[in-house]
Amino acid sequence: MRFIQQHESNLLLSNQFSDKQLNELLSLLNQMLIEQRSNKMTTKKQEQQLKDSIANLAHDIRTPLTSLDGYFQLLIKSKDSEKRQQYAEVIKNRIETLTELLETIFTYSKLENDAYKIELQKTEINQVLLDTIFTFYLQFSNEAIEPNISIGESQLYILANSAALTRIFSNLIKNSLDHGQGEIKISQAKERDQMLFRIQNKVTAESELDMSQIFDRFYMSDKSRAGNSTGLGLFIVKEFVEKMNGHIEAELIKQVFSISIRFPLLSDD
């Protein structure tokens, strides 16, 4: 038993004995060995994922910093006002990318702290969603995407944190822009005593998405890391939803990926 535990081996204990109780004991020990190996493999996989994720995050931080240095040098040396304006715009974009990345990491670190609490208050969710959609106007325009938006006229109140709601909607819209294809559908409506939000977009191939891991930290369907995703966006969404007593689920049907969120409604008086 000790030899099998201490060595990388798939061997199991033989239970070909005439004594029934001994065979049952050996069967139990074999089951423990199998579970131990499974747990060990899972731990190794998680450790490797964490190492890869840390390396990816370091790369994502280093890349815009390196780019910033290069464009700062060009800006300083150039005497052409038009080129200087172009360099300044690139620098601005790189700073925004870096700021967004650092904010994502900071939010993740807060959510990982069990003591972290968010203040909840009565919030009109339709206005928060509309304001968030508006911030993506230029991105929708640049990518020639006109989102299909369906939001009821009546006000819907939930117990929430408006900053957390904004982060939820922003992450989901950004996820659709980064990984979806074509039209993006966004809807929000009352369903019995709940508020139902849903965002949908087409994806290229169903096989690329592991729906069982879609909300896991550092999960990325694109192993080539196109777009330099941290793999934290949907994890942060799920954590915020659950901290506000909501429910979230994702599904993939005929290459249409959708995420649905439900929050209990409050009375509007």
Provide the token pair at 71: 């464009």
3-state SS class at 111: helix
Residue ranges of domains in the chain? 1-116, 121-266
Reported as a single tens digit per residue, the pLDDT across 123-155 is: 999 999 999 999 999 889 888 888 999 998 889
- Is the CATH code 3.30.565.10 the one for domain 121-266? yes
- What mean pLDDT, rounded, does the chain reach? 83
Whether the model clears a pTM of 0.85, i.e. scores above it, the answer is no
Q: Which of 56, 7, 77, 70 is nearest to 36 (CA)?
A: 7
3-state SS class at 227: coil
Residue 173 per-residue DSSP state:
H
Q: What is the CATH number of domain 1-116?
A: 1.10.287.130
Reported as a single tens digit per residue, the pLDDT across 180-224 is: 888 899 999 999 899 999 999 988 765 577 788 888 877 776 655
The CA distances from residue 212 to 2, 40, 103, 249, in Å, are 35, 20, 26, 11
- 130 versus 52: the higher-pLDDT residue is 130
